[in-house]
Amino acid sequence: MKVRDVIRSSFLKIGVLAAGEDPAADQLQDAIFDLSLMLDTWSSERLFISKLATEAFTFNISQSKYTMGPGGDFDTTRPMFFEACAIRVQYGTPEQVDIPCPIMNADEWADLSVKNTQGVFPTRMWPNFTDTLVELNFWPIPTTVQQVYITSWKPLLGLNNADLDVMLPPGFAETIIYNLALRLCPSYGKEPSGTIAALANSTKAKLKTSIGAQKNYLMRVDEAISSKQKVFNYLTGEA
């Protein structure tokens, strides 16, 4: 199945095309633009991203900040969310070991009073999302050449060519067809039927549920609550 087949199916659903007809060139281009906008919007929804990628990059000595995305220091698809980060020490040798590098938020990064501290390898990473790239800030600044392994959620593939083969996980094609049909209706003065609207909503909801079930979210609580150590009780004045 190609992108043009997806678009043709969407047009058929809303009666823009009849059986056996193909969309004109201008119809294809307009639909591809709407399709790209729709997938771009979906990529901002965490439960709609199904591609989890782990990628390896190499540090430069004494460099603390790297850009990640097309054309960046780490040249790859711009991540939407980060899942994990680890430093592979002594990579390429039998003694290599992965050291977790926790991902910080902006407040935690701001609390680091001495950001130019140097160390053998970083133990913290803060991703700063900009318009085009992600700035990855590592602390402390590495003084040796090591590899960093970054696990992140990638956006949906851009289906921006009519002759491109559609390679999508199960459930995506039908969801895209019905939701694209809804999106195309205003441009052609069409009123979507209740069946089309219901199928667009139900397929999208089922797909998000399916993707969410594949992600293993761990419930965490504050260490002060879970710790077996005695905690000071400000009500009684006792530990």
Nearest to 124 by CA among 108, 144, 145, 113: 108
Q: Which CATH entry fits the domain spanning 3-47+158-214: 3.40.50.2000, 3.40.50.970, 1.20.58.340, 1.10.3230.20?
A: 1.10.3230.20
pTM check: above 0.75: no
How far is the CA of 17 from the CAs of 13, 23, 137, 235, in angstroms? 8, 7, 52, 73
Amino acid found at 198:
A
Q: Which two tokens stand for residue 216?
A: 């293993």
Rounded-to-integer distance, Cα 49 and Cα 30, Å: 25
Q: What is the pLDDT of residue 148?
A: 95
- Domain boundaries along the sequence of the chain: 3-47+158-214, 50-154
Name every residue whose Cβ is closer than 8 Å to that of residue 105 and which is 6 or more positions away in sequence. Answer: 126
Q: What is the pLDDT along the chain (239 residues), one digit of tens a residue?
A: 899 999 999 999 999 999 999 999 999 999 999 999 998 888 877 767 767 899 999 999 999 999 999 999 999 999 988 999 999 988 878 888 999 999 999 999 999 989 999 998 899 999 999 989 999 999 999 998 889 999 998 887 667 889 888 777 788 889 999 999 999 999 999 998 999 999 999 999 988 887 776 655 444 555 455 555 555 554 455 65
Rounded-to-integer distance, Cα 79 and Cα 73, Å: 14
Q: Which two tokens stand for residue 170?
A: 């199960």
* Whether 49 contacts 83, CB under 8 Å: no
Count Cβ atoms within 10 A of the Cβ of residue 122 and give its class: 0-12 exposed, 13-18 middle, 19 or more buried. Answer: buried
Q: Which two tokens stand for residue 44?
A: 């901002």
Q: What is the pLDDT of residue 22?
A: 93
